[in-house]
Structure 1
Amino acid sequence: MSIAWLQITATTHRAQLAEAVFEQFGAEAITELDAGDALTVEETPNSRPAFERARVVGLFAQGTPAEPIVAALAEALGRDAGIETNTLENRDWASAWLAEHPPLVFGERLWIAPHSAAVDAAEDAVVVRLDPGLAFGTGTHPTTSLCLHWLAGQDLVGKRVLDYGCGSGILAIAAACLGAAAVVAVDIDDQAVRATRENAIRNGVSDTIATPPIGAIKNGPFDIVLANILAKPLISLAPTLFELAAPGAPVVLAGLLTRQVDEVVAAYAAGLAFDRPQVEEGWARLVGYRAVA
């Protein structure tokens, strides 16, 4: 018997609000498309197509009641939003995801692509292969995109990297494929850790990536600390992430909205000096550097 998924689609001018509602109700996956079915992904480096009205698709586990989610969407998005619900068989979800997620390129040589997708890349390209899973994270969301762009521009050879809140493992795996000597990936969600391990094996970097319990991180301090989570946990984790960064190390913070930048910077101001925030579709990435003693 195949697993059925609840799929809810909101067509709206307020895509970020729709995403927030889906996240609030525990969506297993969120995909954003424009109203004409074109993906909101990069076609060329540093270029992103713009559109006014989006289709935001949330995928929920079997048995999730649709009514509270639909009501919350209607309240948040207003009367002009179109909201649809349907049931998606597991095999249909995988096929739809693969069709809607072409390979993405970040920087000059880092690619994220489904396993079955052909990638027209240079010989020295680094290709990370990820398929749909319950712990989602495939590079299409602006927060992940901002982090992947930053990683693609770094010399990671020989570096020790921490991915705090690893999700699907996309950042940890990209770092390992780009030459990091050792990567530690942790998450409070056991399912995310399992997904990271499986994805690391499938990308041939399982020997480079360790997944210890989140309270038992070893091998620090790290040359690079990545934390693509949310603003509130970033603020509460400031002392922890600061201590895990080596002197001079960059600490990359993402998952925050532009209006939350000042609050997050203030939480780290005593220990990190920040570059100018980088922004994509209302989301921000911060890179701060721990002072050299």
Structure 2
Amino acid sequence: MQGKWIEVKVITTSEAVEPISGIFYGLDVKGVAIEDPNDIASREQGPLSWDFADSNIFEYGDKAAVVKGYFSQEEDIEKIIKYIEDKIKELKGLGVNVGDGKVIHMAVFEEDWATSWKKYYKTLKLGKRIVIKPTWEDYDKKDDELIIELDPGMAFGTGTHETTMMCVELLEKYVDGDDVVFDIGTGSGILAITASKLGAKKVVGVDLDEVAVDAAKENVNFNNLDNVEIKCGNLVEVVEGKADIIVANIIADVIVHLTKIVKPFMKNESLFISSGIINDRKEDVLKALEDANFSILEIREMGDWVAIVSKIK
């Protein structure tokens, strides 16, 4: 069944994809799709049933990323566009590189795009043992694999993005059975669930986005976990206690801010795993960590993205 929708797109950068997606999620959006030349898999995660081979991802330049939101015809589109433009200005004020930041809209026809994106999302193995399996797919477990049942819905985190891949690999390397893990900006809950599957004693996932919190809670239930708690809000407002590992797969600017406030939630030997850092912002994050008296233990790079493991000196 086909319907007519209003497509609103923002021409931006890889760095700003997540916060701009968050702007859409704050509205009565019917779906969000992402085209990012630095994350080719993102073209296969959107909610639309287009032919990706015919989609010109480089229409706005080979470094531009595009975030698209879909709204019903009954919505006040001009009001929505004004809201998005104002929020983009706020991001610029926070130092986020939004690139062009241009907002465009047009009417489109799509066929059941709210669910058809699922055909592009397949079972994926990360690291040595972690298997991310869509809830609607069958998979035969092999050897010591750890299966994570996931339906990301409209939340960030399917496992296909390089930043998520690196975080999963680092959790696999560092988590042990006595650890308490905090996942900041949990999104779909993929990293919180991974930490639990790897044997963490307790996991707390936090996100400001209510849509993400609902998705994460559902995914925790899909995996029948009783040691993962998902909370809506800011780390400093909703989380108590100290963690052995804090993982934050967000954006560089938020990580820079976290370096100033995260220590009260860390034990003396705690690890801070940060990712979502575009290569161009690597030195900014390293400097912020060093200024906050963190020592750098490990730096990983994948594509145009960076993950950093640090601890308090």
Which TM bucket (shorter chain)? 0.7 to 0.9
State the one-letter code of the partner of 2:196: A
Q: Secondary structure of 2:138's partner?
A: coil
CA RMSD of aligned residues (A): 3.6
2:71 maps to 1:62:
yes
Q: How much identity, in percent, do the aligned residues show?
A: 28
- Which of 206, 212, 228 is matched with 1:209 structurally? 228
Structure 2 length-normalised TM: 0.70
State the one-letter code of the partner of 1:246: K
Give the distance between the partners of 1:231 and 1:19, measured in 2 at CA.
Answer: 8
After superposition, the C-alpha distances for 1:213-266 in whole angstroms (9 at most, x for unaligned) are 430311x21110011111112112212212212111110011111121121122
Q: What residue is the counterpart of 1:108 in the other structure? A: 128
**Is contact 2:205-2:229 (8 Å) kept?**
yes
Which 5+ residue runs of structure 2 have no aligned equivalent?
26-31, 44-55, 59-64, 89-98
Question: What does 1:212-251 correspond to in 2, within 5 Å?
Answer: 212=231, 213-214=233-234, 215-218=237-240, 220-251=241-272
Give the distance between the partners of 1:169 and 1:129, measured in 2 at CA.
Answer: 11
User: Greater RCO between the two (CA within 8 Å, min separation 6)?
Assistant: 2
Question: What does 1:136-215 correspond to in 2, within 5 Å?
Answer: 136-205=156-225, 207-212=226-231, 213-214=233-234, 215=237
Q: What residue is the counterpart of 1:282 in the other structure? A: 304
**Is contact 1:7-1:57 (8 Å) kept?**
no
Count matched residues: 261
Q: What residue is the counterpart of 2:93 in the other structure? A: none
Give the distance between the partners of 2:109 and 2:271, measured in 1 at CA.
Answer: 44
Shift of 1:159: 1.1
Greater helix content:
2
Give the distance between the partners of 1:178 and 1:16, measured in 2 at CA.
Answer: 36
Shift of 1:8: 7.3
Give the distance between the partners of 1:240 and 1:22, measured in 2 at CA.
Answer: 22
Greater strand content:
2
Per the alignment, do residues 188 and 107 of structure 1 end up closer, same or farther by CA in structure 2, a change over 3 Å counting?
Answer: same
Structure 1 length-normalised TM: 0.74
**Is contact 1:8-1:86 (8 Å) kept?**
no
Per the alignment, do residues 59 and 222 of structure 1 end up closer, same or farther by CA in structure 2, a change over 3 Å counting?
Answer: same
**Is contact 2:148-2:194 (8 Å) kept?**
yes
**Is contact 1:5-1:60 (8 Å) kept?**
no
Give the distance between the partners of 2:166 and 2:69, measured in 1 at CA.
Answer: 26
Shift of 1:276: 4.0
After superposition, the C-alpha distances for 1:103-135 in whole angstroms (9 at most, x for unaligned) are 111111101121122235414211111124122
